[in-house]
Amino acid sequence: MKTQVVVDKKSEQIICTAFGNGRRHDFRLFKESKVHVNPGIQLDTDTGYQGIAKLHPNSVLPKKKSKKKPLTKEDKAFNRAVSSQRVLNEHVIGRIKRFRIISDKYRNHRKRFALRFNLIAAIAT
């Protein structure tokens, strides 16, 4: 099961969740979930969302290095700034993982996963 969480920075609350069966790329899950974000809101994402700038121009992605082109000091400083903005999202995900619904293998009925995850997300935030 693949889970996507949209978090509000100010209130640290989960705004939206999306789920996918099996292995699914992060950006593909974002496109299929059809989450509509106001263009004025900045999206802080990780490198799994390469190409999101075409759908949402006000998004921030960390720079990726390649074999032939390592990151410069400016790129590393930019990635550090992006990571410091994203740390809030990771804290919210960590709170959900304490309930072990996404940190361990989910062994119950898949039909009820979304309901259970949303209930746990409401408790955790």
Q: How many domains does the chain have?
A: 1
Predicted confidence at residue 76, as pLDDT, reads 94
For 105, the domain range is 2-124
**Model pTM?**
0.78
How buried is residue 87: exposed, middle or buried, by Cβ count under 10 Å (0-12/13-18/19+)?
A: exposed
Return per-residue pLDDT of the chain as tens, 125 residues.
788 888 888 888 888 888 888 788 888 888 888 888 888 888 888 888 888 888 888 899 999 988 999 999 999 999 999 999 889 888 998 998 888 877 777 788 778 888 888 888 888 87
